[in-house]
């Protein structure tokens, strides 16, 4: 009976005298009661996550070289996602980031690596077709959800993957890629990176402008995470379709951090009918955490140099754990919702979603949000702040589906 009541509360279907629905005040509940309802919502609502670096984790395991399939089905103590934790947290469509490090722009092999990572995702689905499925559209994700399958849509992180050949945009679209992040850690042939001070092109390059138009033509979502403000506004001027920041947070909380999106960019995203998907890394969420993390990193790099060690050395890992144990401010899952609040207050509920960057931000994740099993903690915090079931569904997937469909419609027109 208790489970049934919570199910009805989560769905907003409790009725008085069989006639009118009861208005549920989630803010008046205890944290434990809200979390139970949040878990129910997470399981019954499609949750899309805009960005996870799991394919690189697979690649770094070396399994692809050994001809083995990465064990995604077993709960792991490594990384932030596996099938068990994904199902526990209710995430249904984590976008697999086909990540290309900036070094491949110089040494070559970017397209080959992208193909390898795509192949590894495909092999997961081929190995466990009763649990996993690829997804190339919102309709695919909805159909997979009804079948109880975990969708693995894909996006390329760093347009270096297309190298200098515009036809590779269509090639990767045909491979199932549905968004592309234009840059990563360095300026590339497409445009300028927020992490690079060179400003090679002063925004989008001429080649980059062709890439944007080609993505519009194909119906591939343009991801504006990682690019400079100037590059963003060049994209916004040229793109005829909505644009998305798949894993960025609000710069208002981290002044001067160009990797996060400014209020002006959030407003332009909304004007373009796009959205920002809030990312979870502590340095993206909180200025004090970011400053402490930067100070720790500087000290550790100097210590490693003095001791002729690398991050991977066991003795270095022990030192790093001991040194940083009490030197980082605590960031809570509530800080993610602070960023959601900021976007909602600035432009409305229709322009925000979730983009964790799981497996890409190391040990910087907030308390209550360490892995894919913990999405209900976000939902519980949203309920605590007065968000409705309909609001939460928008944040979890409906906003992104709207954008995706509008990108597809722009391509058809």
Asked if pLDDT for residue 14 goes beyond 70, the answer is no
Asked if pLDDT for residue 19 goes beyond 80, the answer is no
Give CA separation, 14 vs 18, 24, 97, 164, 331, in Å.
Answer: 9, 9, 40, 58, 36
Instruction: Identify the CATH number of the domain in which residue 239 sits.
Output: 3.20.20.140
Count of beta carbons in the 10 Å neighbourhood of residue 326: 6
In a domain, 304, yes or no: no
Q: Are residues 134 and 155 in the same domain?
A: yes
Q: Are residues 95 and 18 in the same domain?
A: no
Q: Please, what sign has the CA dihedral across residues 269, 375, 117, 297? A: positive
Sorting pLDDT into bands at 50, 70 and 90, what band is 5?
A: very low
CB 184 within 8 A of CB 168: no
Identify the H or E element spanning 157: strand 154-157
Asked if pLDDT for residue 236 goes beyond 70, the answer is yes
Q: Are residues 81 and 1 in the same domain?
A: no
DSSP code string of 112-155: HHHHHHHHHHHHHHHH-TTTEEE-SSHHHHHHHHHHTPEEE-EE
Q: pLDDT tens digits, residue range 174-197?
A: 999 999 999 999 999 999 999 999
Query: What pLDDT, on a 0 to 100 scale, did the predictor assign at position 21?
Result: 57
* Rounded distance between C-alpha atoms, residue 299 and residue 305, angstroms: 10
Q: Into how many domains does the chain fold?
A: 2
The rounded Cα 138 to chain-centroid distance in angstroms is 16
Q: Are residues 30 and 115 in the same domain?
A: no
In a domain, 346, yes or no: yes
Q: Are residues 30 and 171 in the same domain?
A: no
Strands ordered across the beta sheet of 243-245:
48-52, 93-99, 154-157, 177-181, 221-223, 243-245, 275-278, 352-354
Q: pLDDT tens digits, residue range 248-272?
A: 999 999 999 999 999 999 999 999 9
Structural domain that includes position 132? 47-286+331-412
Q: Are residues 66 and 117 in the same domain?
A: yes
* Rounded distance between C-alpha atoms, residue 224 and residue 220, angstroms: 13
59 in helix, strand or coil? Answer: helix
Asked if pLDDT for residue 402 goes beyond 90, the answer is yes
What pTM did the predictor assign?
A: 0.93
In a domain, 292, yes or no: no
Asked if pLDDT for residue 394 goes beyond 80, the answer is yes
CB 276 within 8 A of CB 240: no
Query: What pLDDT, on a 0 to 100 scale, did the predictor assign at position 1?
Result: 39
In a domain, 312, yes or no: no
In a domain, 33, yes or no: yes
H helices of 12-100, in order, are 31-44, 54-60, 63-66, 83-89
CB 273 within 8 A of CB 309: no
Q: Are residues 102 and 51 in the same domain?
A: yes
Q: Are residues 255 and 276 in the same domain?
A: yes
Average pLDDT, the chain: 93
DSSP code string of 181-224: ES--SS--SSB-BTT-SS-SSSSB-HHHHHHHHHHHHHTPEEE-
Better-predicted residue by pLDDT, 294 or 345:
345
In a domain, 53, yes or no: yes
Q: Are residues 5 and 120 in the same domain?
A: no
User: What percent of the chain has pLDDT above 70?
Assistant: 94
pLDDT, average across residues 341-345: 98
Q: Are residues 87 and 35 in the same domain?
A: no
Q: Are residues 160 and 127 in the same domain?
A: yes
In a domain, 305, yes or no: no
In a domain, 300, yes or no: no
Nearest to 404 by CA among 189, 8, 217, 139: 139
Q: Are residues 4 and 129 in the same domain?
A: no
């Amino acid at each position: 009976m208790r489970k049934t009541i919570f199910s009805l509360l989560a769905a907003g279907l409790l009725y008085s005298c069989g006639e009118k629905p009861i208005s549920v005040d989630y803010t008046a509940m205890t944290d434990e009661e809200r979390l139970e309802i949040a878990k129910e919502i997470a399981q019954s609502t499609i949750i899309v996550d805009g960005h996870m670096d799991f394919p690189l984790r697979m690649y770094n395991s070396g399994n692809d070289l050994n001809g083995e399939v990465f064990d995604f089905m077993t709960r792991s103590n490594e990384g932030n996602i596996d099938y068990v934790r994904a199902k526990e947290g209710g995430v249904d469509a984590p976008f697999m980031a086909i990540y290309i490090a900036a070094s491949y722009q110089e040494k070559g092999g970017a397209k080959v690596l992208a193909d390898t990572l795509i192949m590894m995702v495909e092999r997961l689905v081929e190995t466990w077709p009763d649990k996993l499925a690829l997804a190339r559209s919102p309709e695919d994700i909805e159909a997979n959800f009804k079948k109880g399958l975990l969708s693995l849509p894909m996006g390329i992180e760093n347009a270096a993957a297309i190298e200098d050949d515009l036809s590779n945009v269509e090639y990767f679209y045909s491979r199932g890629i549905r968004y592309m992040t234009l840059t990563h850690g360095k300026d590339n042939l497409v445009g300028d990176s927020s992490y690079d001070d060179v400003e090679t092109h002063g925004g989008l390059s001429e080649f980059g402008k062709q890439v944007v138009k080609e993505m519009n033509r194909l119906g591939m979502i343009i991801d504006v995470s990682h690019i400079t403000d100037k590059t963003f506004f060049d994209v916004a001027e040229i793109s005829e379709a909505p644009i998305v920041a798949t894993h960025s947070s609000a710069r208002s909380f981290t002044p001067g951090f160009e990797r996060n999106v400014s209020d002006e960019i959030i407003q332009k995203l909304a004007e373009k009918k796009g959205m920002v998907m809030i990312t979870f890394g502590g340095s993206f969420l909180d200025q004090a955490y970011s400053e402490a993390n930067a100070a720790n990193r500087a000290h550790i790099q100097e210590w490693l140099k003095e001791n002729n060690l690398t991050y991977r050395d066991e003795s270095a890992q022990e030192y790093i754990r001991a040194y940083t144990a009490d030197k980082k401010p605590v960031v809570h899952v509530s800080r993610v919702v602070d960023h959601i609040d900021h976007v909602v207050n600035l432009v409305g509920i229709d322009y925000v979603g979730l983009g964790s960057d799981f497996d890409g931000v190391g040990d910087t994740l907030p308390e209550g949000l360490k892995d894919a099993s913990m999405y209900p903690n976000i939902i519980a915090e949203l309920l605590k702040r007065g968000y409705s079931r309909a609001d939460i569904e928008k944040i979890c997937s409906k906003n992104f589906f709207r954008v995706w469909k509008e990108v597809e419609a722009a391509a058809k027109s």
